[in-house]
Chains A and B, each alone.
Chain A
Amino acid sequence: MLRHFIYSREGVLSLIVLVMFFGVGAINPDFISLSNSISIFNDTSILIMLALGQMMVILTRCIDLSVAANVAFTGMVVAMVNRYFPDINMAFLILLSLLIGAFLGAINGLFVWLLKVPSIVITLGTMSIYRGSTFLLSDGAWVNSHQMSASFIALPRFEILSMPVLGWMAIAAIIIVFWAMKFSVWGRNFYSAGGNPMAAFYSGVNVGKVQFYAFLVSGTLAGLCGYLWVSRFAVAYVDVANGFELQVVAACVIGGISIVGGVGTVVGCVIGALFIGVVNNALPIIGVSPFWQMAISGLVIIIAVIANASSDKNKARIILRKSDESADSAQVN
């Protein structure tokens, strides 16, 4: 089992992350201290949660570009409710954020399920609509920290065993999704629906419905992250998390989740997100200008997908017969 892990994509990736982590630690020992490790994880929590949802969507051969807009919209609603009803129960607010997120995700999912339209177009559309609605809702105004109640801001910062609640939420999300994807029929269906929709259909899996569930989960997690984001940065405005959707997709891609569906694990996804988190936190420490950050993550994505593509080479062979081996090299996936 352990040996299998070491040679797997996730194993190699975690090794790279660890080498990077301790490499930076060799330059600056503070970087690998427990408190800094926790703070890196805490910083990456929102990315991890969104990447988990995105992973489920990508597994079913779809993509959800509306997550960041969902974060902005839900965050704004929650912040505004809190502003006008400062004494509101936090449990209610979190429930509200989950429900709004789930609703927005369900809209994407229903289009994909019932109309069978390409998810990239639908979520491109809902991305603009959700972001635009955030503007309509707030009239372009910001909700600042002094307009938020103390408990609204304090909740994700509350520390249990020296880790903030935000980090614990990410851990809870990882465990739940890991369990579901590994041990429940519901979760395994994501793999079958994405790996071979035709076979899944003949085995009695409703592919469209599975895709709907994927968008529902992605939306729900995005809703929760909407509250967490707004609370963590103590400000809500229209451009919250602008462009973050591509970073979420990038985390999945680095983590070895195949964009053509059916391949990918929760562990890979989390490590992919952590990779981005460690790079972002390490650059200032080793004295590299933050302007390098974008190019580095771009380069990493490209290297990661090239590595993944070469390990996937056997997959393409199945499509063609052995006699077509010569044509194989030029064959497109």
Chain B
Amino acid sequence: MDTIIKKTATPDVLLTSKLQKLFRWETFLILIVMFVFVMNSYLSPYFLDPWNLSDATFNFTEKALIALPMAMLIIAKEIDISVAAIISLSSTFMGLVAQMGAPIYMVVLVGVFVGAVCGLVNGLLVTRFKIPSIVVTIGTMSLFRGISYILLGDQVVRDYPDGFEFFGQGYVYWVFSFELVLFAFFALVFYWLLHRTTFGRYTYAIGNNPDASYFSGIKVDKHRLILFTLVGAMSGVAAVLLTSRLGSTRPSIAMGWELSIITMVVLGGVSILGGSGTIAGVVLAVILMGLVTFGMGLLNIPGIVMTIIVGVMLITVVSLPVLITMYKCKKAKVL
């Protein structure tokens, strides 16, 4: 019986248990972040240097920018696997217009615009044809990156206008890079959007029960379309930053990012089944992953070992609440 209930019930059943309210996932994340921070500063003398810490943020800000709208999309019971391919296509178009001698603002606009169009394509396919988003975006993932390969082949574009490197390499004030400030800004924007507006509440409603939301008068398809476009546009923004940081475009840019972005979101406590999760959790998960990667880098531990740790964390995140509920159920039965 258990199977059936778990499969059909909303994940909120799990998340509204008293234990969950006491030990919120976010609290747990804060504790881990603090632990990792202390451990890192204890293990490596180079960790607590503001410039080193600032450098470390470059590793995750671009992914984190996409993780924010992705969290909203997953809360609304959808998913987008094509984000890394959108970065590639958007970066390709930026490279092409830059080669034609476009000014900086044009290059940036094209980047964000191409991203938004890609997102819109995903959204239209999902809403018009009623295809599960995971399938659509597996297809568009190949399509978008494929178009980059057709346009660029094995070329590399490096002719970006002077000053373009600011977005990915510049600093706004002291150690605060433009990327970091932009991430902080968008984190606030998405916090407001998800937790302080009706748009955000609709997102939860759709994620918990799309049918009920539809019959309550929420324009479910339009909402999904907006979310997909938002994810696409943010991927475009990430593409601007990444292209500017690398100073070059090639079709294989950001390969495999989609899975690490989804990992960030899930690690942040967003339920993959939709309906629950917070922006704060995602931001904490992003910081945690950044700190762990950076700390291990300082200790000369290869990056791939990090992937094992992330994998274990990911599985722990989803298994732990279930194990706790199972344990509680068993206890209740005994009594």
Decide yes or no: A246 and B138 within 8 Å by CB, A124-B314, A298-B144, A316-B130 being known contacts: yes
User: In the assembled complex, which residues on chain B have CB atoms less than 8 Å from the CB atom of A63?
Assistant: 134
A-chain residues with CB within 8 Å of residue B125 when the two chains form the complex: 302, 306
Q: Of the candidates A116, A118, A299, A305, which one forms a contact with B143 in the assembled complex, judged by CB atoms under 8 Å apart?
A: A299
Q: Is A224 in contact with chain B by the CB < 8 A criterion?
A: no
B211 CB-CB contact with A under 8 Å: yes
- The interface residues of chain B lying within 8 Å CB-to-CB of A299 are 139, 143, 146
Docked CA distance A122–B319 (Å): 9
A133 CB within 8 Å of chain B? yes
Give the Cβ gap from B2 to chain A, nearest Cβ, in Å: 7
Q: Which of A121, A302, A327 contacts B314 (CB 8 A)?
A: A121
CB-CB under 8 A from A302, the residues of chain B are 125, 136, 139-140, 143
Given contacts A298-B146, A305-B131, contact A332 B308 (CB under 8 A): no
Known contacts A115-B322, A128-B307, A128-B311: A332-B214 contact under CB 8 Å: yes
Q: Which residues of A contact B314 (CB under 8 A)?
A: 121, 124-125, 128
Q: Select A131's contact among B6, B221, B304, B317, beta carbons within 8 Å.
A: B304
B100 at the interface (CB under 8 A from A): no
Among B81, B256, B262, B305, contact of A132 (Cβ-Cβ < 8 Å) = B305
Report whether A250 and B138 are in contact in the complex, using a CB–CB cutoff of 8 Å. Answer: yes
CB proximity to A under 8 Å, residues B307-321: 307-308, 310-315, 317-319
Residues of A near B139 (CB, < 8 A) are: 250, 253, 298-299, 301-302, 305
A124 adjacent to B263 (CB under 8 Å): yes
A294 in contact with B142 (CB, 8 Å): yes
Q: Is the beta-carbon distance between A310 and B129 smaller than 8 angstroms?
A: yes
Shortest distance between the CB of A277 and any CB in chain B (Å): 15
| Majority secondary structure, B binding face | helix
Q: Are A135 and B319 in contact (CB under 8 A)?
A: no
Interface of A is mostly: helix
Binds A, one of B41-49, B53-61, B147-155, B238-246: B147-155
A144 to chain B, nearest CB (A): 20
Smallest CB gap from A113: residue in B: B3
- CB of A295 within 8 A of CB of B150, answer yes
CA distance A117 to B326 in the complex (A): 12
Mask, A114-144, CB within 8 Å of B = 1, is 0111101110111111011101100010000
A98 in the interface (beta carbon within 8 A): no
In the bound complex, how far is the Cα of B8 from the Cα of A194, in angstroms? 13
- Asked if B145 is at the interface of the complex by the 8 Å CB criterion, the answer is yes
CA gap between A296 and B149 in the complex, in Å: 11
B259 at the interface (CB under 8 A from A): yes
With A and B bound together, what is the CA distance between A121 and B266 in angstroms? 8
Q: Is A259 in the interface zone, CB < 8 Å from B?
A: yes
How far in angstroms is the closest Cβ of chain A from B26?
Answer: 18
- Is A156 interfacial (CB-CB < 8 Å)? no
Partner of A117, one of B141, B221, B322: B322
A129 to B312, CA, bound (A): 7
B146 and A295 form a contact (CB under 8 A): yes
Residues from chain B with a CB closer than 8 A to the CB of A293 are 146
Q: How far is the CA of A249 from the CA of B137 in the complex (A)?
A: 12
A331 on the interface (CB 8 Å rule)? yes
Chain A's closest residue to B263 (CB) is: A124
In the complex, whether A207 has a CB less than 8 A from a CB of chain B is: yes
Query: How near does chain B come to A119, taking the closest CB pair, in angstroms?
Result: 10
A246-B138, A305-B136 in contact; A330/B221 too (CB < 8 A)?
A: yes
Q: Is A132 within 8 A of B307, CB to CB?
A: yes
Q: Which of B138, B140, B306, B318 contacts A253 (CB 8 A)?
A: B138
For the complex, give the distance between the alpha carbons of A310 and B305 in Å.
45
**Chain A residues numbered 288-312 whose CB sits less than 8 Å from any CB in chain B:** 289, 291-299, 301-302, 305-306, 309-310
Chain A neighbourhood of B211, CB < 8 A = 331-332
CA distance in complex: A301, B81 (Å): 14
A17 within 8 A of B: no
What residues of B have a CB within 8 angstroms of the CB of A179 in the complex? none
Kindly list chain A residues whose C-beta atoms are within 8 Å of the C-beta of B251.
Answer: 291
The residues in A between 235 and 266 inclusive whose CB is less than 8 angstroms from any CB of B are: 238, 242-243, 246, 249-250, 253, 259-260
Any B CB within 8 A of the CB of A111: yes
Q: By the criterion CB–CB under 8 Å, are A201 and B315 in contact?
A: no
Rounded to whole angstroms, the CA-CA distance of A272 and B130 in the bound complex is: 21
Decide if A223 is an interface residue (CB 8 Å cutoff). Answer: no
Other than the given A120-B272, A197-B7, A291-B146, 6 more pairs (CB < 8 A) read A115-B319, A132-B306, A140-B304, A291-B251, A295-B150, A298-B140
Query: Could you give 20 example pairs across A and B, Cβ below 8 Å?
Result: A63-B134, A115-B323, A117-B322, A118-B318, A120-B134, A124-B262, A125-B314, A126-B315, A128-B308, A129-B311, A133-B308, A243-B255, A243-B256, A289-B150, A292-B150, A298-B143, A301-B138, A302-B140, A309-B131, A332-B130
Task: Give the 7 A-B residue pairs with the shortest CB-CB distance, closest first.
Answer: A295-B146, A298-B142, A298-B143, A294-B146, A132-B308, A128-B311, A301-B139
Chain B residues at the A interface, C-beta cutoff of 8 Å: 1-4, 6-8, 81, 125, 129-132, 134-136, 138-147, 149-150, 153-154, 210-211, 214-215, 220-221, 251, 255-256, 259, 262-263, 266, 272-273, 302, 304-308, 310-315, 317-319, 322-323, 326
